[in-house]
Amino acid sequence: MEKHPHVIRLCALICVTFSSLLHLVEAQDQKGFFSLACGLSPNEPPYNDPKTGLTYSADDDFVQTGKTGKIQKEFEPFIREPYWKLRYFPDGIRNCYTFNVTQDTNYLVRALFVYGNYDSLNSYPSFDLYLGPNLWETIDMTGWTNGTYQEIIHKTTSQSLQVCLVKTGTSNPMISSLELRPLNNNTYNTESGSLRYLFRNYFSTASQTVRYPNDVNDRLWFPFFDEKEWTGLTTDLKVDTSNYYNPPQVVMASASTPISAFAPWNFTWSLSPSTTQFYIYMHFAEIKTLQANETREFNVLVNGITTNERFSPTKLAIQTIYFSKPQECEEGICLVELLRTSNSTLPPLMNAFEIYTVIEFPQLETNQDDVLAIKSIQNTYGLSKISWQGDPCVPKEFLWNGLNCNNSETSVPPIVTSLNLSSSQLTGTIAPAIQNLIHLHELDLSNNNLTGEVPEFLAEIKSLLVINLSGNNLNGAVPQALLQKKGLKLIIHDGNPDLTCEGKPCVNKTDGSKKKNVVVPVVVSAVVVVVVVLGIALAFFFVFKRKKTSNSQGPSSYNTQASDPIPTGSSESIMTKNRRFTYQEVVTMTNNFERVLGKGGFGMVYHGIVNGTEQVAVKMLSHSSSQGYKEFKAEVELLLRVHHKNLVGLVGYCDEGENLALIYEYMANRDLKEHMSGKRGESILNWETRLKIVVESAQGLEYLHNGCKPPMVHRDVKTTNILLNEHFQAKLADFGLSRSFPIEGETHVSTVVAGTPGYLDPEYYRTNWLNEKSDVYSFGIVLLEIITNQPVINQSREKSHIAEWVGLMLTKGDIKTIVDPKLYGDYDSGSVWRAVELAMSCLNPSSARRPTMSQVVIELNECLAYEHSRGGTSQNMNPQNSVEVSMNFDIGSTPDAR
């Protein structure tokens, strides 16, 4: 049954899975935790907090700048000892902590600030707090005598995370503690943005704030109780808290209910601004032993909308109700109500809940390859520029000194386009990491003390327009490739006396008064003149040739007019030249359409022979086709300009009146779906072959997205459009729905939705906005098909859509029901798990959070490497492997089982 769009999904995991048990052990060992006591001297031992058992270490390995301070003695009795010391930042505008983290992982990040009059100025500071390149919060400590903290749940987008303090006035930014806690990736997932902490309460008359070790994730739970309206319940019995959210036992062992048995349970809060979006997670457990004649049943309403009817908490076991989509409150006034039903003899109860507001972080981090290259250059030369902290390119006002970047496209990570390290006291050779700045336009290393040869890799940076190496002590021959690079301005005068250019000194050493420029710019200019002259001559040649061709028999390129002359037969190989065939030639090559290979939306596909020996597949447009001439033309135009080993090649076409045909290279082993089903009467494909096929298919898609100019979106990726040749090499086919994108810098095109049900991207379906991530979603479905060998849609399953079903099985920890049983366990379990994880990431409801096809290709090759590494021996599934998997099962239409 279709549910209301505001419905909150319900989940109860009754048993503790092996993975959650192991997660508990790891968390208690503080694995993955960062606990920094800012300002603690590296010479001091780490601080072990006797109350929590947490170990706080010095912060000097995580930050390059700042000075240490300590709160005044009079404040110490009111502040816990880990926060007595602090780090403050009198120099520079932006100062940053950097953490090495696991990419695409949810982290709880908590920053704590205690002023304590450390500077004896008795003036509370105010400054901005950034997470990466985005503003997290403005910290104004006025009135916070005992300190304040900020907490956020954020999914990392790279392998580093930066927390930055930015000076906004005259006061110095300061910080007392920084804490990072990795979370289970099946929890706290959002459609977009991160989650800023608003409330985390358990409903009890106790006064204890609960955190680690009671909470394995070190979340802070604060008690709250309305004595006028509520009465409390507690239990000494153990409550099973083992769902993915895993709140502490002590939190779930208490609850509140209305004093009046027939009164509702209410909780109200306000949001500012009123359009603020939020997520709520409500945790329930029945902690009273009910008598045979007692029933507790109630409706759950949020902002007046019933989200769960006739809900009864499970006895001594957690159930979590939460929203899968962000919510808003009318005029910013929010209300949760629990209303007793007519069947209930007991009032409703609530144990605990968490509320977070959504904070959007629109600014993407700088291209990670560029970041790694810049940091490698920084390490090579020991650069200690105070501005070289945080993200190199963004925000613009904090751009690293000596860099220029291109961040004009909001949907594309910024890239480094200029590096100026002139007069930076550099020594040694030219850093090899420079070659990894592949978008670089200008490079200035002048006026340093660089030695060694000019590396040839500089010529391989295709975008470079200016290189300034003057004023160094470089030697040897300047590489010929660099001297001949078109459009490059190479400056190597004033210094470098031992450099030679084409066997001659680059600098006139005989002139003691003034050194001369090299002749390289002149050589380049001469080359440019020759190219321009040659280009003009070629242009005249082609214009003249085109005029002659227009009067000849037969077009030289594709033309959609049916009245165009027909080219005569050619003895040249058809596999290297696209041809236009007559309809009679099509009839002949198919032997009057004798052998049918298959049928699609376009029409029938027939076997054919060209030139007596070469097999082809001939797709004829049916007069009743649901596609038609537009798709025919689109496919021809695309295949005439794209060429890749993993795309089916176009041999030719027929466009004669109503007779339209596409002639492809012949794929002897038909499509992937047939082989997965076993309909051909052959053995089922083994795991290694399946991986090889999806790797090759992914390479074809990756070429469409990145190798074509403009990029192409396939729009109909599915197993029937993945064809296999006689060597089982996979090639993508059927490009009738393909579209070019972007146009003039756009990140998507708005288009009528097209594709195949089950494979269709829900975001594209909802918005009509098409981008390359729509193909990624469809490919994720294909990947699930090869793993499970299940149909995409199966109404007899517990969940009809394959993604919903896989998500449900995984929340139960049931991997064996997912993998195709016909593989008989003959696969590397790590390889399968990585493939499952990849497939689920491709199905993220937010296209921005899906991987690119380039990332998909890399991951699949690693899956294949896992499979190769086992040396052909079978390995059974091991439940331990589930610990490493970080999946998001919320794919929009699926139940949010937790």
Which residues have a catalytic role annotated? 716
d(C-alpha 264, C-alpha 158), whole Å: 46
Contact (Cβ atoms closer than 8 angstroms) between residue 712 and residue 705: yes
Between the CA of residue 741 and those of 18, 115, 713, 744, 764, what are the distances in Å? Answer: 46, 52, 7, 9, 14
d(C-alpha 209, C-alpha 137), whole Å: 24
Looking at the DSSP bridge assignments, the partners of residue 67 are 88
Contact (Cβ atoms closer than 8 angstroms) between residue 506 and residue 492: yes
d(C-alpha 191, C-alpha 796), whole Å: 30
d(C-alpha 613, C-alpha 593), whole Å: 17
HSE-CB of 484 using CA atoms within 13 angstroms:
7
**Does residue 228 have a known ligand-binding role?**
no
Stated length of the chain: 898
d(C-alpha 559, C-alpha 542), whole Å: 18
Helices (H), 184-237: none
Residues with Cβ within 8 Å of 104's Cβ and at least 6 positions away in sequence, in order, are 155, 156, 157, 185, 841, 886
| Distance from the Cα of residue 852 to its chain's centroid | 7
Q: What is the dihedral of CA 144, 129, 175, 181, to 10 degrees?
A: 110
Gyration radius (Cα) of the chain, Å: 33
d(C-alpha 353, C-alpha 337), whole Å: 13
Between the CA of residue 322 and those of 326, 352, 353, 534, what are the distances in Å? Answer: 10, 12, 10, 68
- Residue type for position 393: C
Strands (E), 7-103: 9-11, 34-37, 47-48, 55-56, 67-70, 85-88, 94-100
Q: Specify whether the backbone of 628 is left (phi greater than 0), alpha (psi in -120 to 50) or beta.
A: left
Looking at the DSSP bridge assignments, the partners of residue 230 are 258
Annotated binding site for ATP: 619
Annotated binding site: 619
